[in-house]
Each structure stands twice: as C-alpha cells, then as structure tokens.
Amino acid sequence: MDKLLARTKGDRWIWLIVIMLSIISMMAVYSSTGTLAYQKGTGAESYLIKHMAMIFGGIALMYISHKLDYRYYSGISKVLMVITIPLLLYTLLFGSHVNDASRWVAIPGTGLTFQTSDLAKLALITYLARTLSRKQENIKDVKQSFIPIMGSVCVVFILIALANLSTALMLFGVSVLLLIMGRISVKQISVVCLAGVVLLAGVVLLGPRRATYRSRINAFMHPELANPDKSFQADHAKIAIATGGVFGKGPGNSTERNYLPQSYSDFIYATIIEEYGLLGGLSVMAIYLFLLYRCVKIVTKAPKAFGALLAAGLSFSLTIQAFANMAIAVGLGPVSGVPLPLVSMGGTSILFTSVAFGIILSVSRHIDENEQQAKVEQGENTANERRSKKVVVGEILEVA
C-alpha cells in the first residue's frame, strides 16, 4: 500500500474524492438495479460486478493518465480532433439508436458501446487549451486564431447537438469559459455566442429530435398540461426526493427505483436522496463543490497557460455536468440524458471521466514537482551562501 501511495502523485484530495464517489456509485448502482435485474432474469450482483469492473478500469486509466506529462496532451489533442469529428458524423448516420437518439457506437467484438460525445469533450477541451495557449501573441488575429477556434467549437457543437443537445450546450458553455480565460476579445466571444444561438435554434426547430426537445421543454414549463408519459420520470424523481426526508429511507430501501426507468443513471441522484435523505444529497453536492475548489487551486498554481486552461476546462466540464444532473433530478431543468460523473452506471463514460481526472492530476503532479525542485534549489543556494560566508569570515580571521 505504501508503495502504491508513493507512486500516486498530484492532489491527494482529488484522489480521495474519486474514491468517495466510486464508493457512493457502487452502493447506489447496486441498490437501483434490482428492478432491472428482475426484468432481465438475473441478479443485481451481476450489474454490480460489471460496474465495479468499469470503476477499477477507470482508476487504472486515471493512474496511467496522471503519470504522463500533461504537455503530451497538447500534441494528442490534434489527433483527437481529427478522429472525433468523423466519428461524431459516423455516429449520427450509423450509430446505435436508443430512445430515438443516435449517440452510441458499438465496439466490434466486445458487445460494448461508447458515447462519442464523451471523447469529443476531451478532444475539444484539450484542443482549445492548446490553441489558446500557443496563439497568445496573436490571439486577436481573425484568420490565424479566431476562425480555427470558432470553427472547432461550432462544428463539434452541431454534431453533438443533433443527438444530444444537453451535452452540446454544456460543452459550448465550457468552451466560452475557456475563451474568456484565453483572453479572446469580448467582440469575438459575442460572435461565437451568436453563432451558437443560431445553431441552437436550427437544432430545436429543424433538427431530427425537434419534437422530443419541444415536448421536454413544454413538460418542464407547463407540467400541469403535459402528457403524463412525458413527465413520468420527472414526477417519480420528485416523489423519491419528497419521500426521502432529511435522513432517507436507508440503503437499499428505495421504492421509486421500481418506477424510474433510469434510476441507475440519469436519475441516480434522486435514488441517493430517497435512500440517504437531504443529508446524503447535500454531501454529494459538497463533494463536487470541493472538487471544483481543489481544481481551481491547481489552475491558479499552474506555471504554463496550457496546464491552467486544460485543468480549468476539464474541471468545469465535470462540475457543470454534475450540477446539471442534480438540477434535473430535483426538477430545476427539463429531462435530459446527462449522467452524474463517476456515480451513474454508464460503462465507457466512466472511463472517459477517469481519463479527465487523470489529466487534471497530471497538471497537479507537474506543479508539485516544480515546487519540490524549487525547494531543493533554494536549499542548495542557502547552503552555498553559508559556505561563502564561512570562507569570507575565515579569510578575515587569517588577515587579522
């Protein structure tokens, strides 16, 4: 154990946060998959074992990602963007359809699928961090800086939004935050936002899922007039939260998991509140807030612009997604397919989330190594000054 701890670098609090979220995830998934297991004629233990395998696989990927120098991700980002855009287009045309949405691509020979938007988030954030850090000298140049940045943001946004509008909106928001941090002018940011609004209107009014988006918005804005089938998940999520009380019903005692179709993924936060009460829900929220706090500290200490932008983009993406999921579960937003990072049962989404954590820890590790090196150099300089003083004092005594 001591050897393993010695090999893990970076912010220890983030490692602890990952462990805490993993434990919460295993408990919540095991509890909420009982009905699904019954329908499939199997035990909930089988889902728990698969979920644990994904969690341990994610931790392994996080360990590998944090051991790599974060500066390597600058070069990888270009490759990721070249892969991501055609993959998103392929997903729209030939991806697996679930709930009238084409978001997944099957991995040949494994029986697994992965959501290409998870890869797109990593690709776009790393690419923006690289581009913004390398073009600081001519950041306001339209041809060299603004058009490539705006083009990458808008292309990824529209390709994701056609199948997954909520994820596209969150990623667009993170991108705008990175543009602000990257010292893009207010005028150029306004142009990007205007382009985003135009694309959003096109997706909502003309996109292939326009009927779904409109019905969800209407169900949220006018729940008393909504079709019961459209508000079914939101209604039972509210029942779960209301019956949870302050202390909850206890682990494994949820009843609404029998009605919520996505109690183990999109609405797992409602299950947590039902079983662990208001205190459990606030505890999960506090963990994500503390994660954001630790990441902000990393951003402020990062010596290079790329490291700061990379850590900021990934941490904003994780925390915005977490609070979006929690807001939807408690009825503060329309229903969407946004999982709770590192808690929801989501297969490969856990792996991509773990890689994001690993990259943040890689930036933190680099900061710690620089601080340690600075302390060593300071100690050596102090020792040299003391030796010099001793030599000078000895020479003065000899002369005397």
**pTM score, whole prediction:** 0.90
| SS3 sequence of 53-115 | HHHHHHHHHHHHHHHCCCCHHHHHHHHHHHHHHHHHHHHHHHCEEECCEEEEEEECCCCEEEE
First-to-last CA distance in the chain?
Answer: 60
Distance CA 125, CA 349 (A): 16
- Domain spans in the chain, listed from the N-terminal domain onward: 2-368
Distance CA 230, CA 30 (A): 27
Distance CA 218, CA 187 (A): 34
Q: Which two tokens stand for residue 6?
A: 């010695």
Compute the mean pLDDT over every residue in the chain, rounded to the nearest whole number.
86
pLDDT digit of tens for each residue in the chain (400 aa)?
556 556 778 889 999 999 999 999 999 999 888 877 877 778 788 889 999 999 999 999 999 999 999 999 988 998 999 999 999 998 888 877 665 556 777 776 666 677 888 899 999 999 999 998 887 777 667 677 788 888 889 999 999 988 888 899 999 999 999 999 988 888 888 988 999 999 999 988 888 888 888 888 887 887 766 666 667 888 888 999 999 989 999 998 888 888 888 888 889 999 999 999 999 999 999 999 999 999 999 999 988 889 999 999 999 999 999 999 999 999 888 888 789 999 998 777 899 999 999 999 999 999 988 888 877 777 767 766 666 666 655 666 565 5
Q: What does the DSSP 8-state code read for residue 370?
A: H
pLDDT in tens, 326-343: 999 998 888 887 899 999
Which candidate, 46, 66, 81, places its Cα nearest to that of 355?
A: 66
